[in-house]
């Protein structure tokens, strides 16, 4: 699991007791999980009276870093032994590492269930409708005389309930290019499945 520089900087600020006292860290960590698991909204962190002594900019950066860390660690299904060295590199004390791991491990399955419920697959094309229109003229030019294909892609999400139409118009050359690219993609899939 790799973390961006910005995320590491946020975690270093979060791990520094000069920026966030130990009591505020525990409260912030609980607010992260409350926000992720829809028990409160994110804006409640800034107005939280238990976190009044913390600079709002530091609070926002630390909150965002902890949320990103929890989501990434849950997504990659890391355990305490994998996440502890990362937190040590970000200057977390052993007490903060222990409290983070304790809460992380107790809530990891709930966060993973939340991540699993988020649809991450693009819509699938299930049908195609088309029609050929022939434009004789338009309001700028008297004679156009060119065919235009009106394509409607019928798509649905993974659950099969959300159906949506994607419509576009294309010329003969654009349609030939689209068909060629679809054939190339189909051949690539066939080769990949035979490996």
End-of-domain residue from the set 100, 117, 134: 117
Does residue 152 surpass a pLDDT of 90?
yes
* Model confidence pLDDT, tens digit, residues 106-142: 999 999 888 887 766 677 888 999 999 887 777 777 7
Residues 14 and 76 in one domain: yes
Does residue 158 surpass a pLDDT of 80?
no
Does residue 51 surpass a pLDDT of 80?
no
Residues 73 and 93 in one domain: yes
DSSP assigned state of 131: E
- What pLDDT does residue 114 have? 86
How many independent structural domains does the chain possess?
Answer: 2
Residues 104 and 156 in one domain: no
- Average confidence (pLDDT) over 167-172: 90
Helix (H) or strand (E) holding 190: helix 172-194
- What pLDDT does residue 68 have? 92
Q: Which domain holds residue 178?
A: 124-194
Residues 131 and 109 in one domain: no
Residues 69 and 159 in one domain: no
Answering whether pTM is above 0.75, one says no
Residues 132 and 66 in one domain: no
- 150 vs 169: CA distance, rounded Å: 5
- Average confidence (pLDDT) over 79-104: 90
Does residue 194 surpass a pLDDT of 90?
no
Residues 12 and 105 in one domain: yes
Residues 107 and 28 in one domain: yes
Hey, how many other C-beta atoms are within 10 angstroms of the C-beta on 47?
A: 9
Residue of 191, 159, 33 whose CA lies nearest to 106: 33
Residues 43 and 128 in one domain: no
Residue 166 β-bridge partners? 153
Residue by residue, DSSP assigns 133-159 as EEE---SS-S---EEEEEEEEEEE-TT
Residues 104 and 174 in one domain: no
* Model confidence pLDDT, tens digit, residues 5-42: 888 898 998 888 888 888 888 888 888 888 888 776 55
End-of-domain residue from the set 90, 117, 144: 117
Residue of 147, 153, 136 whose CA lies nearest to 170: 147
Q: How many residues does the chain have?
A: 195
End-of-domain residue from the set 77, 96, 117: 117
- 64 vs 87: CA distance, rounded Å: 15
Residues 77 and 20 in one domain: yes
- What pLDDT does residue 159 have? 62
Residue of 150, 149, 154 whose CA lies nearest to 165: 154
Residues 84 and 15 in one domain: yes
- 86 vs 72: CA distance, rounded Å: 12
């Amino acid at each position: 699991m790799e973390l961006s520089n910005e995320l590491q900087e946020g975690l270093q600020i979060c791990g520094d007791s000069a920026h966030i006292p130990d009591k505020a860290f525990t409260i912030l960590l609980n607010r992260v999980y409350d926000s992720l698991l829809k028990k409160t909204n994110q804006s409640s962190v800034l107005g939280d009276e238990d976190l009044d002594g913390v600079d709002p900019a530091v609070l926002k950066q630390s909150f965002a870093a902890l949320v990103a860390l929890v989501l990434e660690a849950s997504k990659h299904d890391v355990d305490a032994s994998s996440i502890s060295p990362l937190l040590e590199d970000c200057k977390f004390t052993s007490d903060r590492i222990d409290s983070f791991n304790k809460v992380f491990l107790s809530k990891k399955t709930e966060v993973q269930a939340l991540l699993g419920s988020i649809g991450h697959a693009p819509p699938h094309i299930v049908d195609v409708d088309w029609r050929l229109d022939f434009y004789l003229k338009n309001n700028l030019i008297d004679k156009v005389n060119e065919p235009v294909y009106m394509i409607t892609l019928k798509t649905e999400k993974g659950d099969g309930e959300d159906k949506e139409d994607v419509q576009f118009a294309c010329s003969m050359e654009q349609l030939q290019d689209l068909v060629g690219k679809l054939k190339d993609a189909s051949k690539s899939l066939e080769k990949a499945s035979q490996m």
